């Protein structure tokens, strides 16, 4: 009982921190960065941090802890597999749109692509995420997948999920810092320098702290073995695909 109470306390904290992350990144870009557009200007770039934080961190993290919710343990696993895959697909879609926003903005303004550590980390994480989702679809949802392949991939899938989530957080944190260095240059663009910690810097740094706090809660939920979904000796989540040939 105490363990379940602790879980739901952390899960509520997870949901709250995730919502705050999305609110903070949206408010930052709408208030200090001028809002949003899709016209090749800097307003188009503002979609990039919003979509990456919402998809690659918040939605991804919530999809990752879905199987840990105790209320789902006594229910058929297949609908939750479908929900997990759907949430991950939506997270992937948002991250792809976020990448399109920044690449399109760079190309329209003759800015080089993929030259910073942040961009390397972000593109590698997105590529790993796409590969992880495709492999998960092939292994756990398609009827043609061999049982041996599903059993082999499951622990790798879980491990890679945590790795991708951690890299996503690192990419977002480095991106926030990089953006602040670009826009808060002092007298050259009418702003206070980043080193003076103006209100925008305080707010964006707070966003970074919220992202880290969200990540720590997600990783704590994932690392607690007591909150792993109990599986029967004959694990239908591995041995049976969701999309059965006779369905």
Question: For residue range 131-155, what is the model confidence (pLDDT) as tens digits?
Answer: 999 999 999 888 788 888 888 999 9
Structure confidence at residue 96 (pLDDT): 98
Mean pLDDT over 13-26 rounds to 98
Residue 234 has pLDDT above 60, yes or no: no
**Position 144 in a domain:** yes
**Position 245 in a domain:** no
**Position 247 in a domain:** no
DSSP 240: S
Say how many domains are in the chain.
1
Q: Name 223's Cβ contacts closer than 8 Å, sequence gap at least 6.
A: none
Contact indicator for 88, 136 with CB cutoff of 8 Å = yes
**Position 244 in a domain:** no
Distance between CA atoms of 165 and 148, rounded to whole angstroms?
26
The torsion region of residue 11 among left (phi > 0), alpha (psi -120 to 50) and beta comes to: alpha
Mean pLDDT over 213-231 rounds to 93
Distance between CA atoms of 139 and 154, rounded to whole angstroms?
9
**Position 189 in a domain:** yes
Q: Given pLDDT bands bounded at 50, 70 and 90, which one contains residue 239?
A: very low
Range of the domain at 86: 2-239
Nearest CA to 221 out of 1, 8, 2 is that of 8
Q: Given pLDDT bands bounded at 50, 70 and 90, which one contains residue 219?
A: very high
Mean pLDDT of the chain: 91
Q: Given pLDDT bands bounded at 50, 70 and 90, which one contains residue 49?
A: very high
pTM check: above 0.75: yes
Is 213 exposed, middle or buried (CB count within 10 Å of its CB: 0-12, 13-18, 19+)? Answer: middle
Q: What are φ and ψ of residue 68, in 5° steps? A: -85, -10
Distance between CA atoms of 13 and 22, rounded to whole angstroms?
14
Structure confidence at residue 236 (pLDDT): 47
Structure confidence at residue 233 (pLDDT): 54
Mean pLDDT over 159-186 rounds to 96
**Position 246 in a domain:** no
DSSP 112: P
Distance between CA atoms of 49 and 99, rounded to whole angstroms?
9
**Position 87 in a domain:** yes
Nearest CA to 204 out of 176, 168, 169, 183 is that of 176
| 100-140 confidence digits (pLDDT tens) | 999 999 999 999 999 999 999 999 999 999 999 999 999 98
Distance between CA atoms of 33 and 142, rounded to whole angstroms?
44
Distance between CA atoms of 162 and 176, rounded to whole angstroms?
21
Q: Given pLDDT bands bounded at 50, 70 and 90, which one contains residue 245?
A: very low
Element counts in the chain: helices (H) and strands (E)? 9, 0
**Position 53 in a domain:** yes
Kindly report the CATH number assigned to the domain that includes residue 9: 1.20.120.1770
Nearest CA to 111 out of 185, 196, 48 is that of 48
Is 110 exposed, middle or buried (CB count within 10 Å of its CB: 0-12, 13-18, 19+)? Answer: exposed
Nearest CA to 215 out of 174, 176, 169, 177 is that of 169
């Amino acid at each position: 009982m105490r363990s379940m109470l602790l879980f739901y306390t952390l899960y509520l904290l997870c949901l709250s921190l995730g919502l705050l992350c999305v609110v903070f990144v949206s408010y930052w870009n709408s208030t200090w960065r001028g809002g949003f557009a899709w016209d090749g200007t800097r307003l188009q770039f503002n979609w990039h941090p919003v979509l990456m934080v919402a998809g690659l961190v918040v939605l991804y993290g919530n999809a990752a802890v879905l199987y840990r919710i105790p209320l789902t343990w006594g229910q058929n696993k297949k609908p939750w597999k479908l929900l997990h895959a759907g949430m991950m697909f939506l997270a992937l879609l948002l991250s792809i749109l976020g990448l399109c926003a920044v690449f399109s903005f760079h190309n329209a303004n003759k800015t080089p692509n993929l030259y910073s550590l942040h961009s390397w980390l972000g593109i590698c994480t997105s590529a790993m995420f796409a590969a992880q989702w495709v492999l998960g679809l092939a292994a756990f949802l398609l009827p043609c997948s061999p049982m041996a392949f599903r059993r082999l991939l499951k622990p790798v899938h879980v491990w890679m999920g945590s790795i991708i989530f951690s890299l996503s957080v690192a990419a977002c944190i480095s991106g926030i810092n990089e953006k602040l260095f670009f826009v808060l240059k002092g007298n050259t663009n009418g702003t206070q320098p980043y080193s003076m910690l103006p209100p925008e810097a305080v707010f964006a740094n707070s966003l970074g702290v919220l992202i880290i706090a969200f990540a720590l809660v997600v990783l704590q939920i994932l690392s607690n073995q007591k909150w792993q979904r109990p599986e029967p000796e004959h694990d239908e989540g591995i041995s049976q695909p969701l999309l059965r040939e006779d369905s």
